[in-house]
Amino acid sequence: MSGHGPAARAALRVWAMAAKEVLHIRRDPRTLVLALVMPIALLVIFGYGVSFDLERVPLAVADGDRTPASRALVSAFTAAGELELVARTGPERADELFRRGEAMAALVVRPGYGRDLLRGGTGRAQLLVDGADPTTASALAAKADALARAEGLRQLSAAGVAGAAGIAAGGSGRVSPPLEARTWIRYNPEARSAVFMVPGLTGFLMALVAVLLTALTIAGEWERGSMEALFASPVGRFEVIAGKLLPYLGLGLAQLLLVVLVGVVAFDVPMRGSAALLVLFGLVFLVGMLGQGLLISVLTKNQLVATQAGTLSAFIPSLILSGAFFPVENMPAALRALSAAIPARYLVHALRGILLQGTGLRVLWPDLLAMTAFAAVVLAVATARFERRVA
């Protein structure tokens, strides 16, 4: 590589800066370990721990009727795998059980329930739910509704048998529901959290590494005053920056591939789309995030402040406003508008498309365009601020 032109020499200097930064990271590998252990730890947590499923919900029962019909309703509830009978009690004690955390729901059957059903009327029961956790409470209410409906259908069917209504009940004496909806959940038929979470997780991990680690490493150079020393060297200012950003670009990509790989191997996350497209989206996203990290470091020049600025502007938004966990459509208009400026939103959407749905650029080009625009604007602002800082 002799007789190289200015461009090749510049590339060489960037390379040298990158090698220096890699050396920094390697000399004290804890940063590297933390950055690479994090995705795996999080995936394990998401794969095993984070689930909205109803399980072992403690249920108290207050059966004031004590007829075969009320007992049938109670056993329909206790037989469901999601609920666990913890106490038989009066309805007035439900509040106390809720506050002690011993029950989350109480089924109250008042006297007269069985009599009303026998008369062909409506049997009424009440479900008291601890609303302090609304997510569980609404899932519980939906489950209880389905259980009561099934019990109602069973009562109908029993009435059909009792009336020997062979014809009306379809010949067998059993009232079969005349209508059935078959539901298929596409792309993730078993509704596993790990499958859902991988796209969102990747977005926020890369935001974390790309924005915060670069902001911290460059702010650290300002803090220690070594930035001036680097500028005094024959390496150009932008070459310093490019060299410092390069290893973190590599680290971010490594995280992306690690999350996808562990997801695919250990948690059966499907990989239906193109791997090249995945890397392309990852790269564009990372460039934007690195630009944001650079901008933060130039503005703050202090690692502690850079942390908070990065957390506020990149980490929290990519967790909350990206649509990975909370649906964007339902947020107040101001937050929806804000989320349009969060690149993680486009990344999460694109990764869902690529990994789970197998979609291609034909559908995802608006996401790529938005991320590219973000990267271009942020890099332009960051370099402009940077020029002014060092001039």
For other proteins, the binding residues in 41-100 under the rule CB under 8 A are 41-42, 45-46, 48-57, 73, 94-95, 98-100
**Residue 128, interface with other proteins (CB under 8 A)?**
yes
How many positions of this chain bind other proteins (CB under 8 A)? 129
Minimum Å gap between C-beta 216 and other proteins is 5
The span from the CA of 249 to the CA of 327, in Å, is: 29
Binding-site string for other proteins from residue 224 to residue 263, where x marks contact by CB under 8 A and - marks none: x---------------------------------------
Residue 120, phi-psi category: left (phi > 0), alpha (psi -120 to 50), beta (remainder): left
Nearer to other proteins, 13 or 328 (CB): 328
Phi, psi (5° rounding) for residue 172? -100, -5
User: DSSP readout, 255-278?
Assistant: HHHHHHHHHHHHH-----S-HHHH
Contact yes or no for 146/164 (Cβ under 8 A): no
Least CB distance to other proteins at residue 13 (A): 24
**Is residue 368 near other proteins by the rule CB under 8 A?**
no
Q: Are 271 and 264 in contact (CB under 8 A)?
A: yes
Q: Does residue 136 interact with other proteins by CB under 8 A?
A: yes
| Residue with Cβ nearer other proteins (111 or 170) | 170
Among 5, 6, 330, 391, binds other proteins (CB under 8 A): 330
* Residue 123 touching other proteins (CB under 8 A): yes
Nearest distance from C-beta of residue 212 to other proteins, angstroms: 7
Report the distance separating Cα 307 and Cα 295, nearest Å. Answer: 13
When binding is defined by CB under 8 A, the residue of 131, 172, 261, 337 that contacts other proteins is 131
Q: Which of 126, 122, 80, 121 is nearest to 106 (CA)?
A: 126
- Measure the CA–CA gap between 391 and 375, rounded to whole angstroms: 24
Q: Are 375 and 284 in contact (CB under 8 A)?
A: yes
Question: Site for other proteins (CB under 8 A): which residue of 75, 176, 226, 233?
Answer: 176
Establish if 122 lies at the interface with other proteins (CB under 8 A).
yes
Which 182-211 residues touch other proteins, going by CB under 8 A? Answer: 182-189, 191, 193, 196, 199, 208
Rounded to a whole number of angstroms, the minimum distance from the CB of residue 280 to other proteins is 19
Order of strands, sheet of 83-88, starting from the edge strand that comes earlier in the sequence: 83-88, 57-63, 105-109
